[in-house]
A = this chain, B = another copy of it.
Amino acid sequence: MSPSAIQTQDVDLTAAAVNRKEEAPAAPALAQLDASRLTYTYTTSPRAVPDEAVANAGTETVCTDHMIVADWNVASGWTAPRLVPYGPLSLMPTASCLHYATECFEGLKVYRGYDGKLRTFRVDKNSARMRMSAARISLPVFEPEQLSKLIIALLEVDGSRWLPRDKPGNYLYIRPTMIGTAPQLGVASPREAMLYIIITYLPRLDSPVGGMRLHTSPEDMIRAWVGGFGYAKVGANYGPSLMATADARRRGFHQILWLYGPDGECTEAGASNFFVVWKRKSDGKTELITAPLDDKLILDGVNRRSVLDLARERLAGEIEITERKYTIAELIEADAEGRLLESFASGTAYFICPISQVHHRGRDINIPMGPDGQPGKITSTIKGWMGDIMYGRTEHEWAILINEKQ
């Protein structure tokens, strides 16, 4: 066996296998996920559309009238996708996803613009990430464009009624999900799976009073690790983190700042990406910094990428934009030296959410906010640009117009 073959098979087996699975041409006999085969069965009892505040007041997540479902099995591939009334799923008690966390998902939003139009945002990025996540968790893959088309088809049906034109500035949350459904207790890749897409309400989380307050992760708890799956949007990244988050909340914090390794590298804030703006120690320049993707610890967030893209395009020369590992000790040092300027979390649920404090081992790191409890200048500027694209105040290729059916 040549050294390079050993390298591929034994050392990077997982990464290689993900790539192989993502890139492999499907067996010709297997039906592919095909949005053009979508069938429509409309609800005969459409529900009243609740006010956003009412919908978000309860503990149950409120969904729209319809969902899209497609089934897969290893012998025949994908069924034709179906748009059907929203309702419960029937799963056998032996279903793979209930035992082995064979599940992955995505999150994106649909926005009612100030020009009355309906838009979603960079759906291609979510679809591509969902394929990667599916491959990582041993679920079937698909052509990302087909998932994007299905998401858009659901928005075309439910978007008009659930995001009325007379309420611009509102949004709904889209949750594509894939689960292993095979009634099979053996620890093996599921032979059956289900893809479904739902649209839900989601509380506005981007403006907590006084800014978001983070508590660093305890030493005996790591969210993700090199060689793990922190970069994939799989269920296994979430359930195990709930206990630390609940503990932080009991002590008055919003989320965990997940540290990694003996040096305490700053990775993610809750389930969002974490950004800091500071005066750089080496040369005093203003720098926007976030953790890098290369060791696969953190999620390749769509908003993270958008923040970096916009900052590089529009703030170059004004600030430095850096993706590198940085530690909680650097944060503490910057605080002590008065170099901390701003911080924010970016994600679909939290959008761009200003962070005002990080608590670490009994010490508070206070981070400046803007006047009147508003985000600082750079945070506000980037958040404004993103919102302008999402709500149609500026034209941009990232915004995908939805062709409403009514």
Contacts and interface: CB of A to CB of B under 8 A. Distances in A.
A61 interface: yes
Contact of A234 (B6, B92, B239): B239
A202 B236 CA distance: 25
A182 B200 CA distance: 15
Contacts of A122: none
Interface string A87-109: 01111111001111111010000
Interface string A132-155: 000111100000000000000000
B188 A246 contact: yes
A218 B89 contact: no
Given A11-B220, A186-B61, A238-B187, A88 B99 contact: no
Interface residues on A, range: 35 or more
Identical chains bound together, number: 2
Contacts of A136: 240, 243
A240 B183 contact: no
B59 A102 contact: no
Interface string A67-103: 1000000000000000000101111111001111111
A271 B183 CA distance: 19
Given A236-B236, A246-B138, A221 B13 contact: yes
Contacts of A228: 221-222, 225, 240
Given A101-B239, A200-B185, A240-B137, A63 B94 contact: yes
Contact of A105 (B99, B202, B222, B234): B99
Contact of A236 (B101, B218, B244): B101
Interface string A41-63: 00000000000000000011101
A1 interface: yes
A153 B98 CA distance: 23
A242 interface: yes
B91 A86 contact: no
A13 B198 contact: no
A14 B105 CA distance: 26
A275 interface: no
Contacts of A338: none
Interface string A4-31: 0010011111110110010000000000
A147 B18 CA distance: 39
A185 B103 CA distance: 14
Tell me which of A102, A179, A238, A271 has the highest count of chain B C-beta atoms within 10 A of its own C-beta.
A238
25 contacts: A10-B362, A11-B219, A13-B244, A59-B191, A61-B94, A67-B93, A86-B93, A88-B90, A88-B93, A93-B196, A97-B98, A98-B177, A99-B105, A101-B235, A101-B239, A187-B349, A219-B227, A221-B228, A222-B226, A222-B228, A225-B225, A225-B227, A229-B240, A235-B235, A235-B239
Given A102-B242, A185-B202, 12 more contacts: A10-B218, A10-B219, A61-B184, A61-B186, A98-B179, A101-B234, A103-B239, A136-B243, A175-B185, A180-B239, A186-B203, A225-B227
